Structure 1
Amino acid sequence: MRLPRRRPHPPPVSASSDDHELMAAVAAERVEALRLLHDRHAPWLRARLLRRCADPDIVDDAIQDTFVAVWRGAGHYSPQGEDAAAWLWTIAVRRLASALRRPGGRWIASATLADADARLASAEDGVLLGVEHGDLGGALARLSPELRAVIQATVLDGLTIREASRLLGIPEGTVKTRLMRARARLREELA
């Protein structure tokens, strides 16, 4: 009779474990690692998603869906390919967009260009633009607030023209025009 192979036990995880260690432990189906990852990242994910959605219940659902997806897909995470926080943000913003596409989902209806500019001017967004996008970060920072808001909504957050229109409180045609102008300016800046 042949005995089944024993899996090597991954090292223990703690609050001092880095994100890559936690992701490896989640891939090994260690619930405590998922809990630590949630405790570390859910607060900032919630804060950023609340800037995009007026309904905190939808945001909370998106965060829950995000960590369910992390539990199911942690084996697909590659520490060489991307930062864990960026991977989580990508999942979270897609889960929020999916939730908002369902009946009853609400974009920030009263968002104005000043609100969008204030979001883009936050320290966190500035760091993300500079670090995650290198030369592109500088080019994005030189765009007008109106053009940056459209680029962030459509390109960085992956929203459709209609969703960006609802988010920013401007007509779809205006989103398309600003997106075309922003892309042209970025081509000039990066050429």
Structure 2
Amino acid sequence: MRDTTSDGELLRAIAADRDRRAFEELYRRYAPWLTARLRGRCADAAMVDDVVQETFLAVWRGAARYRAEGHSADAAGWLWRIGARRLVDALRGDGARGRLRQALARLRHREEVSAEERVLAGVEHGDLAGALTRLSPELRAVLQATVVDGLSTREAAVLLGIPPGTVKTRAMRARRQLREALA
């Protein structure tokens, strides 16, 4: 039988009392979900497992920030933001450039060039980086949240403190400006 305690109550118990049972329940609820989402972004199962553990360690050490940040009921979005950032940090480690070069090498041996391959080639040669730096900070922040971190529009809106409609509009503008810059 599943515990009926709300996610917010669990997080408050973890923050206020270091309640191990509350932490274990939160882990049972969200670790499989977080693992599945992160594996969609990274094929290295060991790295994903490490990131999930680091995410929950961060919750144990700093759950009070959840309450202080004012996230009333979106524990999943909060956990995803922590996990996504930890995954990005792990991928930026020493091996990330090597993995990108290997992926590009594999892509170059195929006859058909996809849009993803063109973007990866742009990253390798700096075209995309230059185009991204020319975007306004507001547009870059939306791309970071929705593309790099993989957040939904609603999650990005919470993270950035703007309405979901504004996230969608800024994402459209950013994509249009990038297309023009990379054309």
Give the shorter-chain TM-score range.
Answer: 0.5 to 0.7
* Aligned-residue offset at 1:140: 6.2
Q: Is the helix fraction higher in 1 or 2?
A: 2
Which residues of structure 2 form unaligned runs of 5+?
108-113, 117-145, 158-163
1:135 aligns with 2:126: no
RMSD over aligned CA atoms reads 3.7
CA distance in 1, matches of 2:180, 2:35: 31
Q: Which residue in 1 is equivalent to 2:10?
A: 22
1:38 aligns with 2:27: yes
The answer to which of 104-113 and 60-69 deviates more is 104-113
**Residues 48-87 of structure 1: pairs in structure 2 closer than 5 A:** 48-78=37-67, 81-82=70-71, 83-87=74-78
Aligned residues: 130
Distance 1:140 1:15, change over 3 A: farther
1:96 aligns with 2:87: yes
CA distance in 2, matches of 1:54, 1:34: 27
* Aligned-residue offset at 1:41: 1.3
CA distance in 2, matches of 1:59, 1:25: 27
CA distance in 1, matches of 2:78, 2:34: 12
CA distance in 2, matches of 1:64, 1:84: 16
CA distance in 2, matches of 1:37, 1:90: 16
Identical positions, percent: 40
After superposition, what is the alpha-carbon deviation per residue over 1:92-121, rounded to whole angstroms, capped at 9, x for unaligned? Answer: 11111121122345579489657xxxxx9x
CA distance in 2, matches of 1:131, 1:66: 17
Q: Which residue in 2 is equivalent to 1:178?
A: 178
After superposition, what is the alpha-carbon deviation per residue over 1:37-91, rounded to whole angstroms, capped at 9, x for unaligned? Answer: 1111122212221222121110110000000010000122217712222221111
Q: For 2:8, give the aligned amino acid.
A: H
1:19/1:37 contact within 8 Å kept:
yes
